[in-house]
């Protein structure tokens, strides 16, 4: 049993944070599922932008577009086509796991992160276009995204709540999930196949906090150094503590009696931004039951090669709380950090989305010139 498969034995599913045509059509994805223990897949605008710009694999769809088609519509069509195939390749796992895994995620346009109505409409459109029960639609967990998340779940759409950084926002996401399930029960709609994850972006927290720690005056240098590379993991451990509390109470037990499944915590951005940290630094620290780690191909290969699975999320919780308290005494406001990270995350994905659209526009111009 390899380290990825051992994670599954400990209750953590590994998904791949990557998609492109060669992965889907060259047999690699099937091999990773069958041999390596891969259990799902996520995508985002950055991944698609790189796939379009770095290959000719999508030129056929771009060339077939008619003149009135917008570049944004072509991008959506391209994403839908890849996610249909990904869902089909994962379908046997989805069926054998009774809907727990074998899921693949598509993301709404980042420009909708603060557009509730637009998010709801786009989530419904993507869900209907792909038309696979093992699709997840990624909706950012911004303030304006929360109603879209709740309404989409109420409509029976699987939702990957993305771009989470703070525990306080996560608790709002849990509330939205509970309300959606309760609304479906009230409407006599089934809830036993509703799938959802709440995705924390991990390494970005340390990238931001470490920079602030490095800027502390010399009088606080030793304290700052002791917290370097610790805050993202501490934050995740406290989020996991909140998860366990939420999914052990009476309200959840009533939902579980109707077949509801927990909205698992998903750890994203688990490749270290700091090259001084080991390549499996966050993946090792974030192992816990009923969680997901969506890894880049590089992180996946590294963990497959030298991962050391052990359920560490439940360890040293008191220390995690103390670390966040010490951070506050140093004058670093984690709430402010996470708000900034949310804004930067929306902007970064919007930029990647715009680049993907521009890549399509460039290829269309080249086709006309030829």
Query: Which stretches does DSSP call E strand in the chain?
Result: 12-17, 40-42, 103-107, 135-140, 159-164, 196-201, 264-268, 291-295
- 358 in active site: no
**CA-only gyration radius of the chain, Å:** 21
Residues 317, 235: Cα–Cα separation, whole Å: 10
Cα torsion at 152, 87, 299, 311 (round to 10°)? 70
Q: Tell me the pairing of strands 196-201 and 103-107.
A: unpaired
Catalytic annotation, pick one of 50, 138, 208, 355: 138
Closest to 240 (Cα-Cα) out of 188, 175, 314: 314
254 token code pair: 């009533």
Which of 62, 290, 295 minimizes the C-alpha distance to 195?
290
Query: What's the CA dihedral at 39, 43, 46, 50 to 10 degrees?
Result: 80
**Active-site annotation, residues:** 138
């Amino acid at each position: 049993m390899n380290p990825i498969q051992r994670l599954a034995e400990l209750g953590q599913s590994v998904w791949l944070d990557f998609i492109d045509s060669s992965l889907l059509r060259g047999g690699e994805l099937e091999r990773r599922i069958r041999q390596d223990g891969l259990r799902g897949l996520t995508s985002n605008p950055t991944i698609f932008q790189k796939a379009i710009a770095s290959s000719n694999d999508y030129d056929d769809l771009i060339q077939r577009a008619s003149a009135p088609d917008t570049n944004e519509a072509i991008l959506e069509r391209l994403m839908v086509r890849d996610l249909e195939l990904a869902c089909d390749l994962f379908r046997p796992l989805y069926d054998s796991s009774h809907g727990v895994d074998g899921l693949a995620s598509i993301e709404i346009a980042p420009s909708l992160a603060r557009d509730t109505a637009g998010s709801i409409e786009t989530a419904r459109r993507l869900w209907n276009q792909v038309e696979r029960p093992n699709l997840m639609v990624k909706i950012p967990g911004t303030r304006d995204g929360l109603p879209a998340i709740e309404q989409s779940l109420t409509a029976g759409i699987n939702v990957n709540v993305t771009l989470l950084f703070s525990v306080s926002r996560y608790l709002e996401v849990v509330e939205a999930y509970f309300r959606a399930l309760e609304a479906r029960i009230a409407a006599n709609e089934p809830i036993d196949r509703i799938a959802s994850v709440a995705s924390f972006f991990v390494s970005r927290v340390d990238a931001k906090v470490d920079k602030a720690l490095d800027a502390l005056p010399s009088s606080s240098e030793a304290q700052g150094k002791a917290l370097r590379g610790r805050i993202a993991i501490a934050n995740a451990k406290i989020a996991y503590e909140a998860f366990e509390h939420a999914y052990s109470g009476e309200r959840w037990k009533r939902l579980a009696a109707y077949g509801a499944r927990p909205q698992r915590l998903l750890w994203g951005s688990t490749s270290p931004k700091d090259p001084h940290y080991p390549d499996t630094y966050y993946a090792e620290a974030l192992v816990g039951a009923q969680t997901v780690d969506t890894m880049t191909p590089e992180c996946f290969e590294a963990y497959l090669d030298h991962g050391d699975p052990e359920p560490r999320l439940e360890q040293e919780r008191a220390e995690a709380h103390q670390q966040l308290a010490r951070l506050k005494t140093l004058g670093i406001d984690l709430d402010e950090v996470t708000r900034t990270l949310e804004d930067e995350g929306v902007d970064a994905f919007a930029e990647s989305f715009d680049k993907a659209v521009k890549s399509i526009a460039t290829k269309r111009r080249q086709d006309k010139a030829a």
